[in-house]
Amino acid sequence: MNEKEPLPLVADLQRALAPDRVRVSPLELELYARDASIIAGRAEVVCFPLTTAEVQAAVRVCRKHGRPFVPRGSGTGLAGGATPIGDPVVIVTTKMTRILEVDADERVAWVEPGVLNLDLSRAVAHLGLHYAPDPSSQQSCSIGGNVATNSGGPHCLLYGVTSAHVLAIEVVLPDGSVAMLGGLDPEPAGYDLRGAFVGSEGTMGIATRIAVRLTPLPPAVRTLLLDFTSVDDAAATVSGIIAAGLVPAALEMMDAEITRAVEAFVHAGFPEDAAAVLLVEVDGLAAGVDAAASVVAEVGRAHGARTVRVAADEAERALLWKGRKSAFGAIARIAPNYYLHDAVVPRTRLVEVMRAVYDIARRHDLVMMNVFHAGDGNLHPLIVFDRRADGVLERVMAAGEEIIQACVAAGGVLSGEHGIGLEKRDYMPLIFSADDLDAQARLREAFDPDGVANPEKVLPAGSRCGDLQKIPEGAWI
């Protein structure tokens, strides 16, 4: 064969899509060898379909050539869910960006998987509506990726995670056929396969059209910033607010290290001498919002809040939220790499687990920051490091494992919104029995009996018989 002639797999993909949307250059394969996690793999080829029919065609080409495939959205995932393992074809949906239909009366939108989370809310804002799940990466993450990992976000404390807002999904299954999961009826007939697909991380197929529920914009909003001289006091305030019978729209916590980094980055007026801050938002009817804000302030002061600041207008509110949602970008001023965890613990154990996390960082001589969804106990311990330093990656990985074990020991779970992917796959037996893993594997096999859709993710290899397979050597970067 002439060296310039494409491989049969590539040639078939080019015929199925278009030559300029099938990429095999070393640079492009390197760019798509990882998501936003610190785990790298290798892709055989990367392709960019525009329609459901093209996704079908790409999957069928993969099957013809005996190749696995990995669905990928914007690549903002933090658990290695879109990392290509086993030289697969990476099927990227970022060019499928149409908002297909908006029904303002029924509060439903049909979108393609490449629509960015924040773009959807901006597109329907003039109708008095928004898409409630709001990951911190909402400016760049896609709806398809949100569905894959069942993403959360600050406002999911009140409004719920992605699964509560997805009504129906058109899916290209691993055999290349198309199925509609769920529906717009209040109670669709049959099993809740929509619910099974949301959070399946590309192991059951590729979403090509998604019906999402839209939520009315609240008539009134109050955003409060409370600062504390003690992390324990801030964590205790979180439980105190919930114990007072109030469920805010959002209840976020940042410790001293991340607060200083954020303030240097966005200049939002975060107190740089605070040990911790809470960002609390309440919404609803004006009278109820005023009462709720008073409760938050009262509980905060009772637990030692030094100051309680209420955003004076929308501009100040937006600046405070820019600070919170820019946290991961802000730490680039400190070090080039970070490793972020996503465990969830009971709110009543927050203080205890936070102490354990800080102790783990001290023992491993690491810089640890904490910024997280405190209201639902979704911790995000953030280890900041430079992987070029000798031995630092080993210390980071050891600390990460101890953090997971500490959270599970406190009655927690492995992930609140980032997914399992590769990062936490081998920790699944910490919270699931052999029978649990077997049941999950059987469900996965019902969708993908040949194991070609995003292989080696979520479930430890051999979950049907208890044999575990470690992450490939050299994958951690």
Cα of 469 vs its chain's centroid, Å: 24
pLDDT recorded at residue 473: 58
Q: How far apart are the two ends of the chain, measured CA to CA in Å?
A: 36
Average pLDDT of the residues of the chain:
94
Q: Which CATH number fits domain 335-409: 1.10.540.10, 3.30.70.2740, 1.10.1380.10, 3.30.9.10?
A: 3.30.70.2740
pTM score over 0.85: yes
Instruction: Give yes or no for residue 2 having a pLDDT over 70.
Output: no
pLDDT, tens digit, 9 for 90 and up, residues 364-417: 999 999 999 999 999 999 999 999 999 999 999 999 999 999 999 999 999 999
Return d(Cα 169, Cα 208) in angstroms, integer: 7
pLDDT, tens digit, 9 for 90 and up, residues 123-138: 999 999 999 999 999 9
Higher pLDDT, 469 or 228: 228
Cβ proximity of 301 and 233 under 8 Å = no
Return d(Cα 389, Cα 396) in angstroms, integer: 11
pLDDT, tens digit, 9 for 90 and up, residues 140-199: 999 999 999 999 999 999 999 999 999 999 999 999 999 999 999 988 888 999 999 999
Distances in whole angstroms, Cα of residue 34 to Cα of each of 90, 115, 197, 341, 477? 11, 21, 23, 17, 10
* DSSP characters over 256-316: HHHHHHHHHHH-----TT-SEEEEEEEEESHHHHHHHHHHHHHHHHHTT-SEEEE--SHHH
The fraction of the chain above a pLDDT of 90, given in percent, is: 91
CA atoms within 13 A on the CB side of 120: 35
Higher pLDDT, 462 or 332: 332
When computed from its CA atoms, the radius of gyration of the chain, rounded to whole angstroms, is: 23
Architecture of domain 99-216: 2-Layer Sandwich (3.30)
pLDDT, tens digit, 9 for 90 and up, residues 409-459: 999 999 999 999 999 999 999 999 999 999 999 999 999 999 999 999 999
As a whole number, mean pLDDT of residues 296-310 equals 98
Instruction: Give yes or no for residue 470 having a pLDDT over 80.
Output: no
Instruction: Give yes or no for residue 1 having a pLDDT over 80.
Output: no
Instruction: Give yes or no for residue 265 having a pLDDT over 70.
Output: yes
- Same CATH fold, 99-216 and 8-92? no
Return d(Cα 467, Cα 67) in angstroms, integer: 24
Number of helices followed by number of strands (H, E) in the chain: 15, 18
Q: Can you say whether the dihedral through the CA atoms of 106, 111, 117, 123 is positive or negative? A: negative
pLDDT, tens digit, 9 for 90 and up, residues 353-362: 999 999 999 9
pLDDT recorded at residue 162: 98
Q: What φ, ψ does residue 417 adopt, rounded to 5°?
A: -160, -15
pLDDT recorded at residue 329: 84
As a whole number, mean pLDDT of residues 308-336 equals 93
* Residue 450 burial (CB count, 10 A): 12
Does the structural domain 8-92 have CATH classification 3.30.43.10? yes
pLDDT recorded at residue 4: 65
pLDDT recorded at residue 417: 93
Domain edges within the chain: 8-92, 99-216, 220-329, 335-409
Instruction: Give yes or no for residue 6 having a pLDDT over 70.
Output: yes
| Three-state secondary structure readout of 19-77 | HHHEECCHHHHHHCCCCCCCECCCCCEEECCCCHHHHHHHHHHHHHCCCCEEEECCCCC
Q: Which residue reads 């069928």 in tokens?
A: 60
Cβ proximity of 185 and 38 under 8 Å = no
As a whole number, mean pLDDT of residues 242-251 equals 96
Q: Which residue reads 């439903």 in tokens?
A: 108
Instruction: Give yes or no for residue 466 having a pLDDT over 60.
Output: no
Q: Which CATH number fits domain 220-329: 3.30.70.2190, 3.40.630.10, 2.60.120.260, 1.20.1050.140?
A: 3.30.70.2190
Q: Which residue reads 């919270």 in tokens?
A: 431
Element (H, E) at 216: strand 215-216
The fraction of the chain above a pLDDT of 70, given in percent, is: 96
pLDDT recorded at residue 465: 55
